[in-house]
Amino acid sequence: MAEIAGKGTTHDQPNEPRNDRGNDRGNDRVDGPGDALRNGRVDQPPDELPDELPDERTGYGAGAGSWGAAAGGADAPAPQTPAQAPEGEPLFAVDPLVVESWGGALVVSSPRLRRRLRVQPWVAQLLLAARTGLLPGEWEGEAGRREAVRTLAEAGFLVREKEPAGEAEPPWDDWGVTAWSLHNRTRDTPFVGARGDDPERLRRTREAITSRPRPSSVRRAATDRILLLPRVRTPLSTPYREVLEARRTHRDFEEREIGLDLFSDMLHYCFAPLRFADAGEMGVLQLRAPASGGARHETEAFVFPLAVRGVRPGLYHYDNIRHGLVPLAAPGPDSPGDAADPETLRARLERLTHGQGFFRHAAFGVLTAAVARRMSWKYRHPRTYKLLLQNVGHVAQVFSMTATALGLGAAITGAIRDSEADALLGLDQPGEFTTFALACGVPRLGADGLPLSIRTPREAPERW
């Protein structure tokens, strides 16, 4: 049985002031006839919800299993049969059961059900107690409890037999309740935007954002030492179509150095601002090649030169404003020997990425890290975490495409030993964390021009 009990609250808007009345978008209230579940006298119901939320009948449905369909609509599936409880037969909570605190309210859900319910605390306690079985005598004597059990049974949260876990539909049967919770909490987010129809609401939103100190878009240097890189542009003659067709993930690299100009261009186009924009109270924004929500650009690059002409191997932070490398000392007594030894660095990067082989002969590696407060300062809804992950995906794609255009090859992976990487980089936990690993070098290609790790089909497969 899985249980998630969040202690914090969420915000109704990604860029609006906090609202503890609860965000009910996509969640049905547990309201039986006569508001039986609201009158449990354990807690008062939350205030009325904001006007912009949809009618409850068009949320996650009036009948159990009506995933997003309007109540009574042509596409609405028939409600499930309530779990009638014969005398002496217990009812059990669906397994897994997820209980979370959302914006001052409690919401119950399960990867096995197509409905979420907002409930009072005593109803959540009733469900939690049902994990080991709920006998009729424990709920039949009180009208409120009878109505609660009826509604929960209709929605599928109470079943007649203790069913085994692991029967959720794909992909949730494999991904589990953590991914299920993230999925639900980042869906159906109301946005403000530059809404001309509600200038007062827009004004309140801006005031709420600017009431807190704006985080810097530049990471403070750990030392005054910096290796400034050349500001040159390597000539690019490969047509864009050929770049698209040639881009592949490369696992095998030649044991060769790359030139300083190529290395400098890779960092410049992938992580440095190409222009700046004055966004008023939002600050001066960096305009980098990779897309980023609101141009917040929370991604920082930590660079490991391994075979770059003219650069001593080691661990550096890329200062994207001064376009240079700031050396970082390898932290802690368990650091792998001489941090400037390239073979030691390769071994460390291979361990951090679970031995996939990307760094055995790469010319340099990069670990990206997110400074999350740059995003959360403006966007205060959990959906922003999803956007943050999308942002680093943009960075990785620009990295791979730029390497291809420069005649290099790249490998990208999210399979990282997160805690070890965070410690190695000296990140400020918990608001900074490692997000991606990138490798770059001179690729080894087969006779067909493809990476050595790619085999083309020689005959028609039995199944696509």
In terms of DSSP H, where are the helices of 85-186? Answer: 121-129, 143-154, 172-185
| Arithmetic mean of pLDDT, 295-321 | 97
Whole-angstrom Cα distance, residue 186 to residue 271? 27
DSSP, residue by residue, 107-135? EEE-TT-S--EEE-HHHHHHHHHGGG-B-
Residues in contact with 6: Cβ distance below 8 Å, sequence separation at least 6, in sequence order: 100, 101, 102
Report phi then psi at 127, rounded to 5.
-65, -40
Residues in contact with 428: Cβ distance below 8 Å, sequence separation at least 6, in sequence order: none
Residue with the bigger pLDDT between 138 and 353: it is 353
Whole-angstrom Cα distance, residue 171 to residue 188? 20
Measured CA angle at 100 (ends 99, 102), to 5 deg: 145
Residue 201 CA neighbour count, 13 Å, CB half: 15
pLDDT band at 125 (very low <50, low <70, confident <90, very high): very high
Whole-angstrom Cα distance, residue 285 to residue 275? 9
Count of all residues that appear for the chain in the document = 464
**Beta strands 158-159; 117-119: pairing state:** unpaired
- Rounded to a whole number, what is the distance in angstroms from the first to the last CA of the chain? 37
Whether residue 387 is predicted with pLDDT greater than 80 in this model: the reply is yes
What was the pLDDT predicted at 194?
Answer: 59
What are the pLDDT digits (tens) for 415-457?
999 999 999 999 998 999 999 999 999 999 999 989 998 988 8
| Arithmetic mean of pLDDT, 171-194 | 83
What was the pLDDT predicted at 381?
Answer: 87
Rg of the chain, C-alpha, whole Å: 27
> Which of 210, 182, 219, 221 lies closest to 371, judged by CA?
219
0.85 surpassed by pTM: no
**320-343 burial code (b ≥16 CB/10 A, e <16):** beebbbbbbebeeeeeeeebeebe
**39-76 burial code (b ≥16 CB/10 A, e <16):** ebeeeebbeebbeebeebeebbbbbbbbeebbeeeeeb
Helices 143-154, 121-129: crossing angle, 10 deg rounding? 70
pLDDT band at 338 (very low <50, low <70, confident <90, very high): very low
Residues in contact with 153: Cβ distance below 8 Å, sequence separation at least 6, in sequence order: 82, 83, 84, 85, 91, 159
What was the pLDDT predicted at 88?
Answer: 63
How many Cβ atoms sit within 10 Å of the Cβ of residue 463? 3
Give the dihedral sign, CA 8/11/17/18: negative
What are the pLDDT digits (tens) for 203-224?
888 899 999 999 999 998 888 9
Domains annotated on the chain, with CATH: 28-185 (no CATH), 225-441 (3.40.109.10)
Whole-angstrom Cα distance, residue 117 to residue 128? 14
Label residue 273 exposed, middle or buried (CB < 10 Å: 0-12, 13-18, 19+). Answer: buried
